[in-house]
Structure 1
Amino acid sequence: MYRSPFGIVGGVMLLGIVLWLGIDALVQGSGRTQWLALASLILLVPVVVAFTLRPAVFANEERLRIRNPLRVIVLPWGQVASLRSGYSNEVVAKGGARFQLWAVPVSLRARKKAARRQARAEAERSGRGRGRGGRGAGGGGLGFGGLGSVGGSVDADGPARAETDKVMDDLRALMEAREKAESAQGDVTVRWAYELIGPAVAGAVLLVVLLVVG
């Protein structure tokens, strides 16, 4: 299972603020204030949960299950055409539909940091290689001693990568390994999260009515 730790932390904090303000208004307020607080809670709590705590990606040998804010998408690996990473991470079904992976957000900052770490590691390996070569140290010019340096940020089996890019690499590897398996075939299914949409719509309607009525 893949989830965004920053989304969870932010969601818990935001949910705490909403509940604190809403419950305080319910307890301390009176009349119309209490109704406005109740409507706001009914609207905001499902929205906060949907966009922060809910998103997750589940992957096994048969299928990819994406739990986005308002939908749950299940794609057997045989139905996955590609997994793309750009300004967002998304899966493309063979039918052409695209689904964003909310739980695996792209961090351009993390990519830049990984690129800098990789550049420093390559420079260090190159420098060690030239140093060994100057001493006539046989095969030392390959510079294998530099792998895994820079705080262990560069893996011995490949370049430094942002964490979410590593997740996408893992998902691509699983797709390539399982896309032709008999147990990984089937239809793409999409289910709306009515358990969150319903309360949010009810809260929005109640809030609009209260504001219109005054």
Structure 2
Amino acid sequence: MTDSDGAPDPGPAAPEPTYADRIYRSGPGIISGILLLAVAAWLIGDAVISGTGRTPWVALAAAPVFAFPVIAYTLRPAVYANDRRLLVRNPLRTVLAPWAAVEGLKAGYSVELFAGGSKYQVWAVPVSIRQRKTAGRRAARARAAGEPEARLRPGQPDPTRAWSDQVVAELQEMAERHGASPAAAGSVSVSWCWWVIAPTLAGLAALVTLIVTG
């Protein structure tokens, strides 16, 4: 098919390529969150069914005050990284940082993201000093034995490095590789997680009201 001036019709524009995310989350954090929610559901459910007077109402008001923070601090934290940007989902905020705006990452006593002139904690990647010491001893034994350094695929566990240090190294490498790409340009944006904040505050207000007026 040709257009009015005789040139071939290029047809519909090709869709933009999709970029698969690397996802980093804390397994122990997710497990602990599920267990806490299960225990809370059992206790609150028992109070609602078996409680008398205002007890069922107090239990219902306390439910969001407990459940939403647990979800926020255990199940919600995650890090998503692709060729364009780094998305850090913290308990109460989400930080979207194009690679061009990422200045670096650091794993000390916690993992920190430096982007757009600000510093952000990365809750999804907790630092374990014990794990770091264990990995250090393994690395020392491997060097003493003259073992060659293993070539690992992204996301593959490295027994000679703590998980948090390995994640930071992978993200830092992605920042250096993609930071100059035009597709990775832009500024940092931060948004609040209102679906956690609003019901928690509403439940807290109801709980305080029930206690004060009781």
TM tier relative to shorter chain: 0.7 to 0.9
Looking at secondary structure, tell me which structure has more helix per residue: 1
Partner of 2:120: 99
Q: Which runs of 4+ in 1 moved over 4 A?
A: 156-159
| Gap runs ≥5 in structure 1 | 126-145, 148-153
Q: Does 1:171 align with 2:166?
A: no
Asked whether the 8 Å contact 2:72–2:91 carries over to 1, the reply is yes
Q: What amino acid does structure 1 have at the position aligned with 2:29?
A: G
Question: C-alpha distance in 2, partners of 1:123/1:187?
Answer: 46
TM-aligned CA deviation for residue 207 of structure 1:
1.0
TM-aligned CA deviation for residue 124 of structure 1:
2.2
Q: Does 1:121 align with 2:142?
A: yes
Question: C-alpha distance in 2, partners of 1:159/1:56?
Answer: 22
- 1:2-17 alignment runs, 5 A limit: 2-17=24-39
| Gap runs ≥5 in structure 2 | 1-22, 153-157
Asked whether the 8 Å contact 2:25–2:125 carries over to 1, the reply is yes
RMSD across aligned C-alpha pairs, in angstroms?
1.5
Q: Does 1:58 align with 2:68?
A: no
Deviations along 1:100-122, one digit per CA (max 9) or x if unpaired, are 11001111111100111112222
Partner of 1:200: 200
SS of equivalent residue, structure 2 residue 52: coil
Question: C-alpha distance in 2, partners of 1:112/1:156?
Answer: 21
Q: Does 1:155 align with 2:144?
A: no
TM-aligned CA deviation for residue 159 of structure 1:
8.8
TM-aligned CA deviation for residue 61 of structure 1:
0.4
State the TM-score, normalizing by the size of structure 2: 0.84
Count of residues paired in the alignment: 187
Partner of 1:71: 93
State the TM-score, normalizing by the size of structure 1: 0.84
Identical columns (%): 45
